Each structure stands twice: as C-alpha cells, then as structure tokens.
C-alpha cells in the first residue's frame, strides 16, 4: 500500500488553492461587504426561500461596518 499523495492529487490541491486565492482577490476588489449581525443571515435565508433571487434580500446600508477578514 502506497502512502502519501500522488502527483495528480498534489497538482489538484495546488490548483484549488490558487482558484480560491483568485476568488478572494476578485471579491475583495469588488468592494463587497459582509453583514456584522448574524441575524441578517437568517433574514436573507428566509427571503431567498420565499422570494428567490427576484428581489434583493438586503440593501447595503449607508455606513457599512465591515467585519475583519
């Protein structure tokens, strides 16, 4: 029985890590914000379940409190 990862498994792992790095940089560059109040996620989930993506579930507040990333 061989132990350790194969070259293909290492290659796939590196590609996945690189993709997530790219996604994070892209999202950061868009100036997205994250709600600080955990209750907002429950409200957004309920809205999506009932309304789908037809209307925005929340509007960005004038002064956004960004959580640390």
CB 40 within 8 A of CB 58: yes
Would you state the structure tokens that stand for residue 67, as one six-digit string? 């959580």
- 58 part of a folded domain: no
- 64 part of a folded domain: no
- 18 part of a folded domain: yes
Number of domains in the chain: 1
Per-residue pLDDT of the chain (69 residues; tens, 9 = 90+): 678 999 999 999 999 999 999 999 999 999 888 888 989 889 889 999 998 888 877 665 555 555 544
Look up the pTM and report it.
Answer: 0.50
- 35 part of a folded domain: yes
- 63 part of a folded domain: no
- 2 part of a folded domain: no
* Residues sharing a CB contact under 8 Å with residue 40, sequence separation 6 or more, in sequence order: 58
In this prediction, residue 69 carries a pLDDT of 47
**Residue 32, domain extent:** 7-51
């Amino acid at each position: 029985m061989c132990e350790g990862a194969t070259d293909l498994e290492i290659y796939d792992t590196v590609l996945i890590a690189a993709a997530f790095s790219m996604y994070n940089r892209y999202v950061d560059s868009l100036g997205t914000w994250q709600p600080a109040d955990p209750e907002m996620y429950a409200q957004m989930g309920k809205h999506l379940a009932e309304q789908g993506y037809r209307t925005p579930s929340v509007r960005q507040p004038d002064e956004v409190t960004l959580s640390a990333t």
